[in-house]
Amino acid sequence: VSTSAASRPRARRRKGVWLGSLAILLSVVVFLVPFAFIFVTSGKTQQEASRLEFSWPTEWAFFDNVLAVIRTNDYVLLRAFLNSTILTVGAVAIMVVLAAMVGYVLQRRASRWNGLINALVLAGLIIPPAVVPTIWVLQGTGLYKTLWGLIFIHVAFGLSFCILLFRAFVASIPRELDEAALIDGAGPLRLFFQVIFPLLRSVIVTVVVVQAVTVFNDFTYALYFLPGEANATVQLTLYNYQSQGLNQWNLLFTDVLLITIPPLIMYIFFNRQIVAGMTSGAIKG
Amino acid sequence: MAVAMQGLRDVERGTGRGRKHSLKKAYPLWFHLPAGAFYLVLFLVPTGASFYFSLTRWTLFDVEFIGFDNFVQFFREPALVQGFVNTFVYAFVTSGLKVVLGLALAVLLTSQIIGRGYLRSVVFFPVLVSTIGVGITFKVLLDPFDGLVNQVLGFFGITGPGWLTDPHLALLTVAGVDVWKGVGLATLIYIAGIVAIPQEFFEAARVDGASAWNNFRYIILPLARPATVTVVLLSLIGGLRSFDLIWTMTRGGPGFTSDVIASVIYKQYQAGFFGLSTAGNVILFVVVAAIIFPLSWWLNRKDNES
């Protein structure tokens, strides 16, 4: 009995090595090869890239490609990065503050509106937005084809997810804290912005990171609500670039690579928060 | 601090009614208004208006009420009907595969194997990558002649199909790429569900000499049920609405064989048939609501029973 008990963990460890190695090998083929393909193609000359082979570049033209991509269409990519940055920062900032206010009052105060608000939050997660009527509203308010319009669109569509996360987190902050602040004479605005809001730090990081990646990667809403080459977002430049059907695969994949870098950086630094946000938000939804 | 809390509790007890009144003031309902304004103007109003506009012939210049003609046309034109059917195929294929593969990967990535951290990261990373970038990359990798996939198949003596050019295959190929990109999220949700299972279950099973399969069948599968509910609902919502990957990879082609409702909406909008496009939106709304609401009610009810 004792030998089998001792050999069992060892057998399991051996199985772990064997299974792990197999999984790593498979993951390289399935998940890393596509990224490696982007990388090597972005390093090739136009002629070599047009063969679409998965091979090491015979001569590296990576920096020439980067410069060429940036120069394309009168530096449209730089403007696109600027636009996407403004869009992401603006939308996420507004979303976080407004959703935190809703999530906080929704959790703290039992009002007869709560049922309706909760239903609307769920509806916002589930119902696909109506495209042309939204354009109609944007035109009516003078926001169509403006960056502000797209920022507000992202705010409206992203609020639901943020509210759910904030409501769940506010529940973990003791009410005694509110009461202490009230006794110290704080009004509702000071109570929220100076006492509660700073305590939401960890969930704010989660919301910011998840929504920043979502807004930055968004293609559909930009396509509908911010059309036109002049003030495109990065996803739209990539799409326009592809639509032109040029045979410049090296430049196309350099563009793909450049656009993949911001989410990669986010992932490296905020891995834990992204995972927390995506699973908890998902489980609540 | 503790003293202060004690004092607070005394205050509370002393002024029960007054406290309630002041607390109401501490959480003003107008905090809902700024968020509500955005939601109302840019989401509720367009959604409500879509029901009216779907009943009109609507161009850039004027609006004319035509009753249910748009819906009749939607279900009479074969190309549009195909998009309607494809929406369900796409959603159910992606959702089913994400459940099965996500669960399998999660079981693997919660077991004692080497390289677990690396594997979790690498499976999850595609979730964060731009859909357009993924679409472009796979379009090239799946090129019928020069693409890497068919080159490798050719090396083994297999003639790979035209993944995106074969009318019978295009939609399923895009669905496969969707799974490649999205399975990381399903895996992550399942991992969270499996990790939350109390260790006592597995210890008791080990004492009883349960096999790995028994562990999976009688512990993980039933107890990870909330995760399954989440993955199913989330991937169905995403699958029914999905547009950008299909649009990047096939534009609904060849022909209309990989069109879905969302791409029909875009095509009709581009062509200037705003009424028809909006009718598509209303149909999508009804489809999503008719699937998601009963399903989530049913799944959550069974959840409570067990």
B289/A127 Cβ within 8 A: yes
Contact residues on chain B for A152, CB-CB shorter than 8 A? 38, 42
Residue A14 is predicted with a pLDDT of 82
Two structure tokens written together for A36:
């490696």
| DSSP one-letter code for B56 | E
CA A160 to chain centre: 15
A-interface mutation test, from B29, B31, B270, most A Cβ less than 10 A away: B31
Please give the Cα distance from B24 to A88 (Å, whole number): 35
Beta-carbon contacts below 8 Å between A and B: 269
Q: Is the pLDDT of residue A282 over 60?
A: no
Mean pLDDT of chain A: 87
Q: Which among B42, B123, B131 is the nearest to A134, CB-wise?
A: B42
Name the residue with tokens 């169509």: A144
**Residue range A165-194: average pLDDT?**
90
Please give the Cα distance from B303 to B299 (Å, whole number): 6
Two structure tokens written together for A38:
């982007």
A159/B35 Cβ within 8 A: yes
Contact residues on chain B for A10, CB-CB shorter than 8 A? none
User: What values do phi and psi take at A218, rounded to 5?
Assistant: -60, 135
Contact residues on chain A for B26, CB-CB shorter than 8 A? 108, 178, 182, 188, 191
Residue B305 is predicted with a pLDDT of 54
B185/A282 Cβ within 8 A: yes
When pLDDT is cut at 50, 70 and 90, the band that residue A6 belongs to is: low
Please give the Cα distance from A148 to A225 (Å, whole number): 10
When pLDDT is cut at 50, 70 and 90, the band that residue A267 belongs to is: confident
Contact residues on chain B for A216, CB-CB shorter than 8 A? 130
Please give the Cα distance from B134 to B117 (Å, whole number): 23
- The alpha-carbon gap from A57 to the nearest alpha carbon of chain B, in Å, equals 15
Taking only residues 36 to 55 of chain B, the set having a beta carbon closer than 8 angstroms to any beta carbon of chain A reads 36, 38-39, 41-47, 49-50, 53
Contact residues on chain B for A275, CB-CB shorter than 8 A? 124, 188
**Residue range A181-187: average pLDDT?**
89
- The alpha-carbon gap from A189 to the nearest alpha carbon of chain B, in Å, equals 8
- The alpha-carbon gap from A106 to the nearest alpha carbon of chain B, in Å, equals 8
User: What values do phi and psi take at A129, rounded to 5?
Assistant: -65, 145
Give the H or E element holding residue A162: helix A147-170
Decide: A134 and A224 in contact? Cβ < 8 Å: yes
B130/A260 Cβ within 8 A: yes
Q: What is the ipTM of this complex?
A: 0.87
A37/B148 Cβ within 8 A: yes
Scanning chain B, the segments in alpha helix (DSSP H) are 2-14, 16-26, 33-39, 45-53, 69-76, 78-110, 116-124, 131-141, 148-155, 170-195, 199-207, 212-214, 221-223, 225-241, 244-249, 261-270, 274-305
Write out pLDDT tens, residues A213-244: 999 999 999 999 998 777 789 999 888 888 87
Please give the Cα distance from B248 to B84 (Å, whole number): 19
User: What values do phi and psi take at B114, rounded to 5?
Assistant: -80, 155
Distances in whole angstroms, Cα of residue B49 to Cα of each of A157, A213, A277: 17, 30, 33
Q: Which among B121, B188, B281 is the nearest to A130, CB-wise?
A: B281
Decide: B224 and B103 in contact? Cβ < 8 Å: yes
Two structure tokens written together for A285:
């939804």
Q: Which among A16, A141, A220 is the nearest to B244, CB-wise?
A: A220
Residue B1 is predicted with a pLDDT of 37
Mean pLDDT by 10 residues, chain B (306 residues): 37 43 77 94 94 88 85 89 94 96 93 88 91 93 88 87 90 96 92 88 89 89 88 92 93 89 93 92 94 88 60
B189 touches chain A (CB under 8 A): yes
Q: Is the pLDDT of residue A5 over 70?
A: no
Provide the 3-class DSSP secondary structure of residue B65: strand
When pLDDT is cut at 50, 70 and 90, the band that residue A139 belongs to is: very high
Name the residue with tokens 């796979």: B138
Write out pLDDT tens, residues B218-272: 999 998 888 898 899 989 999 999 999 999 999 987 889 999 999 999 999 999 8
Q: Is the pLDDT of residue A53 over 90?
A: no
Decide: A152 and A143 in contact? Cβ < 8 Å: yes
Write out pLDDT tens, residues A92-125: 999 999 999 999 999 999 888 999 999 999 999 8
B47/A19 Cβ within 8 A: no
Provide the 3-class DSSP secondary structure of residue B135: helix
CA angle, A142 as apex, B54 and A99 as ends, to 5°?
80
Express as a percent the part of chain A with pLDDT over 70.
Answer: 94
- The alpha-carbon gap from B278 to the nearest alpha carbon of chain A, in Å, equals 6
Decide: A216 and A280 in contact? Cβ < 8 Å: no
Write out pLDDT tens, residues A64-74: 889 988 888 78
Distances in whole angstroms, Cα of residue A210 to Cα of each of A177, B96, B126: 28, 25, 14
Two structure tokens written together for B171:
């939609």
Decide: A270 and A205 in contact? Cβ < 8 Å: yes
* DSSP secondary structure letters along B168-234: TTHHHHHHHHHHHHHHHHHHHHHHHHHHTS-HHHHHHHHHTT--HHHIIIIIIHHHTHHHHHHHHHH
B254 cis-preceded (ω within 30 degrees of 0)? yes
What is the value of pTM for the model shown? Answer: 0.88
B11/A183 Cβ within 8 A: yes
Decide: B106 and B119 in contact? Cβ < 8 Å: no
Closest by Cα among A130, A87, A28, A61 to A222: A87
B287 touches chain A (CB under 8 A): no
Contact residues on chain A for B118, CB-CB shorter than 8 A? 24, 27
Please give the Cα distance from A268 to A270 (Å, whole number): 6
**Residue range A50-62: average pLDDT?**
84
Closest by Cα among B291, B306, B189 to B239: B291
A9 cis-preceded (ω within 30 degrees of 0)? no
Decide: B179 and B94 in contact? Cβ < 8 Å: yes
Please give the Cα distance from A154 to A226 (Å, whole number): 12
Q: Is the pLDDT of residue A3 over 60?
A: no
